[in-house]
């Protein structure tokens, strides 16, 4: 014996409910993800990056920035190039593995940035504020540093950051046991 629905409309209602459920599930899956897409890179593909964070301590308080850690040569070479947007509380921490004289540039970088040049102990040696997008002019650290933190332009002023303030992260071995 074959099953026959009582009417055509009862089949359509069932199908519409299924389609609505599947569409809703897919929409939820697309917008809720455990990683942040930080934009397209030179190759044109979106890169999803696990979140990490640094804590910046100034006279005005403690401020958390979610970062990408650039600790491989290719990541350091590319940096934030080709990124057209970045969340306000996001940035990139360049780990150079040992203190050295560093000079950064803004080639192929459309976003103005603040650059924090950071010593081995996590203290800020120098801040280059509101760097010029696309500039190939070198931006030197001024002394040997272990890392550079790049954030959106205006963050240094907003946080009241200055040389001598502290950036906490595991690469400086000054992080706390609260997840940093």
What is the pLDDT, as a whole number, of residue 36? 36
Domain of 26, in residue numbers: 1-32
pLDDT in tens, 160-174: 999 999 999 999 988
Task: Give the lowest-confidence range in 38-42, 55-59, 111-115, 130-134.
Answer: 38-42
pLDDT at 47 over 70: no
Task: Examine residue 177 and state whether it is found in any structural domain, yes or no.
Answer: no
What is the pLDDT, as a whole number, of residue 33? 35
What is the pLDDT, as a whole number, of residue 120? 97
Enumerate residues 6+ apart whose C-beta is below 8 A from 102: 96, 117, 140, 141, 145, 148
Q: Are 66 and 112 in contact (CB under 8 A)?
A: no
Q: Say what the pTM is.
A: 0.71
In this structure, the answer to whether residues 162 and 140 fall within a common structural domain is yes
What is the pLDDT, as a whole number, of residue 19? 47
In this structure, the answer to whether residues 6 and 67 fall within a common structural domain is no
Task: Examine residue 133 and state whether it is found in any structural domain, yes or no.
Answer: yes
Task: Give the lowest-confidence range in 48-52, 143-147, 162-166.
Answer: 48-52
pLDDT in tens, 3-36: 454 544 444 444 545 545 545 544 433 333 333 3
In this structure, the answer to whether residues 151 and 63 fall within a common structural domain is yes
In this structure, the answer to whether residues 77 and 151 fall within a common structural domain is yes
What's the number of domains the chain is made of?
2
In this structure, the answer to whether residues 24 and 43 fall within a common structural domain is no
pLDDT in tens, 77-125: 999 999 999 999 999 999 999 999 999 999 999 999 999 999 999 999 9
What is the pLDDT, as a whole number, of residue 176? 66
- The C-alpha atoms of residue 86 and residue 9 are separated, in whole angstroms, by 49
pLDDT at 64 over 70: yes
Match 């272990």 to its residue by tokens: 146
- The C-alpha atoms of residue 77 and residue 9 are separated, in whole angstroms, by 60
In this structure, the answer to whether residues 14 and 41 fall within a common structural domain is no
What is the pLDDT, as a whole number, of residue 173? 86
């Amino acid at each position: 014996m074959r099953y026959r629905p009582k009417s055509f409309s009862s089949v359509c209602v069932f199908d519409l409910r299924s389609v609505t459920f599947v569409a809703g599930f897919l929409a939820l899956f697309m917008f809720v993800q455990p990683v942040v897409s930080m934009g397209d890179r030179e190759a044109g593909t979106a890169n999803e990056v696990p979140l990490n964070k640094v804590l910046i301590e100034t006279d005005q308080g403690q401020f958390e920035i979610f970062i990408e850690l650039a600790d491989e040569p290719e990541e350091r070479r590319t940096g934030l190039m080709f990124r057209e947007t970045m969340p306000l509380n996001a940035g990139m921490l360049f780990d150079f593995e040992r203190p050295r004289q560093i000079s950064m540039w803004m080639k192929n970088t459309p976003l103005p940035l603040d650059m924090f040049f950071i010593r081995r102990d996590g203290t800020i040696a120098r801040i280059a504020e509101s760097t010029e997008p696309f500039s190939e002019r070198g931006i030197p650290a001024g002394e040997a540093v272990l890392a550079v933190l790049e954030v959106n332009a205006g963050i240094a002023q907003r946080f009241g950051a200055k040389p001598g303030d502290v950036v906490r992260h595991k690469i400086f071995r000054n992080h706390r046991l609260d997840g940093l």
